[in-house]
Structure formats: C-alpha cells, structure tokens
Structure 1
Amino acid sequence: MTLRDRLGALLGGYPGDSFALVTQGRVRDFDGWVLEDLCFHRAGEDIPALFLRPPEGPPPVPAVIYAHAHGNNYATGREELVEGRPALIGPYGPDLKALGCAALCLDMPSFGNRQASDEQARAKAHLWRGGTLFGQMLAELGAGVGFLADHHLVDATRIGALGFSMGSTHAFWLAALDVRIRAAAASCSFADLGMLVESGAHEGHGLYMTVPGLVGQASTGEIAGLTAPRALMIAAGFRDWSTPEPAFRKAEGELRAAYAAAGAAEKLRFHIEPEIGHQETPAMRRAVLDFLRQELVG
C-alpha cells in the first residue's frame, strides 16, 4: 500500500465521489467576470459555494480551489474569497481575477451556512464512526476539483489549490492526495506535527485536524512531499504559533528531500518572513501571486 493509500485510509476514505447535483443561485457581476452562488449536494448535505469565473466566450482558463481559513470564525466560509478576513491583506478574488484565474470556494463543514452542526459535534461523530472531519473536508474539496475539471470554462490541466491557515493545510494535503492539482500555495500552517505535539503547540489547531494514528504513519514533510514533482509553495513566519522554526525546519528539510529525489527541486518554493506571526503580509501575497502566475497561469 502506498503512502497516499495509507493516508486515505487514516482519513476514513479519500478521494470523495463527485457532487451529485449543482444548483445555481444569485449571479453577480465581478468587475467584468461572473460570481455565482452555487449549492452542491453530497452525502445528504447541502454545500454552498462561490464560483468566480470569466463570462462565456473566452477559451478555458486556469482555476484554483480556494480553501478558506478557520480562525474560530465559523460565520466566515466561502465569502472569504471576495470579502477577505482580518489576517489577510485583502480578499484574493480580485487578484485571482486579475491573473485570469477562476476560483471555487466551498463552505467547509461547520462554517458559513453549515453551522447547524458545529465542529466538535461533527468531529466526534466522524471519530466514533471510524472516519475524520478532516477527511470529509478533503473529500469535498476533491469533489470541487472534479467540478472544476469538468467545467467548460476551466482548463482541466491547470487546476491549483490555495489557502491560508486551515486553508493552507487543506491546500498542501489536497495537492498531496489529488494528482489533478498542478500547483498549490499554502500560507501560514506548515510544521512537523510530531514536534508540535511534543511542544504542546498542536493545541492551537482545531479539532477538525485530528487524524488518529497519523504521526506514527507519516510526517508533515513526507505528506507534502507527495506533491512532487508538481509545483508547491510554502509561506510562513517564525513568530506564528503554527509554524515555530524548529518544527518548520524539520518539515522543510523532508519536503526539500522529496523534491530533490523527484528531480524537481525547481518546482518547490518557500517564502519565509522570520518576524511575522499568523498573518499574511504584502510580500507574502506578491510571492503567492507570482508563484501562481508562473506555475498555473503561465
């Protein structure tokens, strides 16, 4: 069994199936592009989403799964794409549109319009049934990749993943598990989980990330390394509780080794700001956009 298969088993099953049905709600103008309210249906649950895309007519464009953050702000889900959040310098929607890159952002379980069942209740139910909330999240994001790959306005060979904080974790895990992801940018959540547990820093992460037995099976660097030889960018600050330097450096070293072994060192990029905490900076945003321009938009 491959590492990717073992991770899927630990998560309780991945990849997920496709979304069974899509319904469209409000359609808005977004500076000449289109912003659609969509509702996907999977496993008996409605999954609201925002889809930022070009109007009909142009050739297919690249697209990203935009994974929103956590921040203990359960009211903010898919709207982060166009409204941003305090830890970001602004929403990514206008920047992605300027790049010519479509974007799909789903409300993750317990966020946005899915707060009726909270994170603790969901995580416990999954664990008692032998699954994980993290696995559900990744399966839904994977189904989102399928939606993008099948959309007539999207170039299925140029699909990426992008996120900050919880979204960062989702982005590099999704890239590791789903070979349809061509490039992933993950900001402000990348560190060796074993070292975080030893130091107690893991307490900063939400219950959604609990995957029983994970530390004994694979390290963060090994997981992210499954993305090689595809493009990956990691951004971090060392005053960030989620990326303390010792735990970051261990994961970084293992990730660099994986890319070197794949003969793809040039496809791995880091942006490190030692004095920055759990927040995005203008320099970080520029680095992420430059990466996407080079590796996805091209």
Structure 2
Amino acid sequence: MSYTLERLRQGGVPPLLKGITDKAGWEAKRTDIRRRWHEAIGGIPPSVPVRYEVLAEEEEERHTRLHLRYETVYGDVVTAYLLMPKASPGLAGGKLPAVVALHQTDREGKAEIAKRTGRPNLRYGLELADRGYVVLAPDTITAGERIYEGAGAFQTAPFYERYPEWSAVGKMIADHRQGVDLLVSLDRVDAARIGAIGHSLGGYNAIFLAGADERIRAVVSSCGFATFTGDSNPGRWGRRDWFSHIPAISDALERGEVPFEWHEIAALAAPTPLFNWSGQSDSIFPHWQAIVQAMGDLHGLYDWLGAADRMLSLDGTSPHDFPLPVRAAAYAFLDMWLKGTGEAGKTEIQ
C-alpha cells in the first residue's frame, strides 16, 4: 500500500505491525513491502561471477591497502580499497570478520573513509581495519574514480541516459552486493561474519544492502535514516538536477503519495542486528522527532520477533556527523555480532 502525504502529516509514522497477528501475517506484509520497493527502484539484477584485479598495494602500519577494481552488473566495474589487517587473532580457522564500508556524499568517495587523509570522524573504514576487520570500501557511482566523464561528482544524468527505467539506488545495491560476493571469495574472510557500515549516503546504503542480502549479519548506519513523515523536502529522494535517487518517488509525490515509509525498507532486514545513530542538530535530516518515532516502531518489530537485543538506536544532539563516542559504540556493536568473542565492551579506537 502507498501512503498519502496528508495521512503521514496527520497520523505520523504508520505502525509496522498494524493488523498483524502472527508471523505469517508479517511475512506477507514484508513480501508486499519488498515488491513495492523493487518496483520503485527498478529491481536488483543478479550478480555476475567474481572477477577483480589489483591495481596497487600500499603498506600501512597495521594493514595493507589494496587498490582494486571488480566487475559488476551490465559490464560495469567498481573501484575500491580492500584493507587487509596484518596481524589479528581471527576467528575459527584463522578467518577474519569483514565489513563493506560505504562512504557519504563526498567526491573523494572511498578515500574519505579508508585513508588517513579523510576527515577524522569519517575514517571508519581505516579504523575498522585496524581493529582486525577485512574492509571493502568501494566508490559508489558518481564519486571517487567513478565520476562520469564530462560530468561532476554526484551527477547521475549519464546513468539515467543509459538506464532510464532503473534507479541509482537499485544500481548501488547491485554494486554493493557484488562487493559482498568479492569478500566471500577471499580465503581470509569468514563468510558468516560480514557486516555493513556507512555514514549519510553510506548509512542508508548499508541499510538497503542488509535488506537485500542475508549475508550481511550486522549493519551500522550513521545519520543515514530519515522518514517521509515530517520531512519538509521529500523530493530529495526523487528526480533532482544532481543525484537522483529514485525517479519513481517524484511521480508518486506529484500524486501526493509515497510508495512506502522508510522504516518499512529498514524492516526488510529485521532481525539482522542494526545500530542506528541520528543527531537532533542534523541540518540534512532535521525532522528528528519522526525519525525517533520510526526507530521506536522498528524496535517494536524486533521485539515482536524475539530479537529486541539486536537493535540499538541512539539519538543525540550532534550535527550530521559520526563523532568518536558514537563510533566507539558502533564498533563495539559490530564486535559483539561479528566477532562474538566477548569484546563488546571494548570501545577504544586504535
């Protein structure tokens, strides 16, 4: 079902479990949410076989950074950094947990989160590598080494010229699933312990990836969750003169509707462990009251599924950022669900 903007304005975030009395009812609703989601984003094509090439290799103090590119759907390639810890106790069989680290809206793309040149609060890819995770930090389309020739960063017009019936969101999910395929293929990675983390653009992409790929066993989103409810600019998700996420959203908005509420999309991943961080001083997503309401309703679903401890949503007074105390809590959350070695209380950032 779709929602009118007037209904969201008057009634707030629609309850996930309204009218649901048993697990079969929830699975039927989740199937309907997934159908509406895939219709909006233009679907997610199957992955292609894993093929990649290493372009360069650099040594850091505690990890090795590989510059590589790997094949993705429809003949495209993704550029990325793969960070391999030099020394780590690993898990059973000597394998390591891994994360797909997704960057925010920054033209530098992967470098911002995986190199020491990145902003201090956003080097989470590098920090996780130094904590013993294998980290894949890809460029999303329109950023880093994937800026279309003749276009600026985050200009999606060339993409839509080639794929008018698809969406940038569908493309990003397909590319990131291909990244999970790559991680699974590596001998040093424990395929049962792969997570996703991101800030802003990377935050909601991490949530989207978790909902599309059951191999993601824990997800962290920093300032990447918002709602249509309470948003004075819902058109941010549709057609724009720069990064157009989902063109179908604009068509729905012209009818005064939206095809889903965003916590429904996050619910596709439930009960995958989820850590969410939002700031009340976030100038990009300032409607924090509705965000808190949606997170509370989503936690109600986790609780109903018998997995209340798998979700942690923090709401603070910070701006659109990923401050150190929150990153420490996020890393402890990942340690708890991906390492399972009693390190959940270890919060120092090395």
Question: C-alpha deviations, 1:223-278, integer Å up to 9, x for none?
Answer: 111221110000010110315222312321331122122111110001221x2111
Matched, 1:125 2:161: yes
| Stretch moving more, 140-149 or 16-25 | 16-25
Q: 1:53 Cα deviation (Å)?
A: 1.4
Percent of aligned pairs sharing the same letter: 27
Separation in 2, partners of 1:83, 1:171? 22
Is structure 2 residue 104 aligned with structure 1 residue 69?
yes
Across the two proteins, how many residue pairs are aligned to each other? 290
Q: Superposed, which structure 2 residues align to 1:132-281 within 5 Å?
A: 132-196=167-231, 199-200=232-233, 202-203=235-236, 207-213=243-249, 216-241=258-283, 242-273=285-316, 275-281=317-323
1:109 aligns with 141
Distance in structure 1 (CA, Å) of the matches to 2:87 and 2:39 = 40
One-letter identity of the residue aligned with 2:337:
E
Map of 2:79 onto structure 1: 48
Q: Following TM superposition, by how much is the alpha carbon of 1:133 offset from its aligned partner in structure 2, in angstroms?
A: 1.0
Matched, 1:286 2:332: no
1:30 match = 60
Aligned-residue Cα RMSD (Å) equals 2.5
Note if contact 1:4-1:226 (Cα within 8 Å) is conserved in structure 2.
Answer: yes
1:11 aligns with 2:46: no
Tell me which residue corresponds to 1:82. Answer: 115
1:96 to 125, 128, 137: 128
Shift in alpha-carbon separation, 1:121–1:231, aligned structure 2, 3 A: same
Determine if contact 1:23/1:38 at 8 Å carries over to the other structure: yes
Amino acid at match of 2:34: R
TM-score (norm 1): 0.88
- The alpha-carbon deviation at position 69 of structure 1 amounts to 0.6
Specify every segment of 5 or more residues in structure 1 that has no aligned partner in the other structure, as ranges. none
Amino acid at match of 1:143: Q
Question: Which blocks of at least 5 consecutive residues in structure 2 are unaligned?
Answer: 1-30, 341-350
Q: Deviations over 1:54-85 (max 9, x none)?
A: 35996110000000110xx32x1111222464
Structure 1: distance between partners of 2:246 and 2:315: 27
Q: Larger deviation: 2-11 or 147-156?
A: 2-11
Q: Which has the larger radius of gyration?
A: 2
Counterpart residue type for residue 167 of structure 1: G
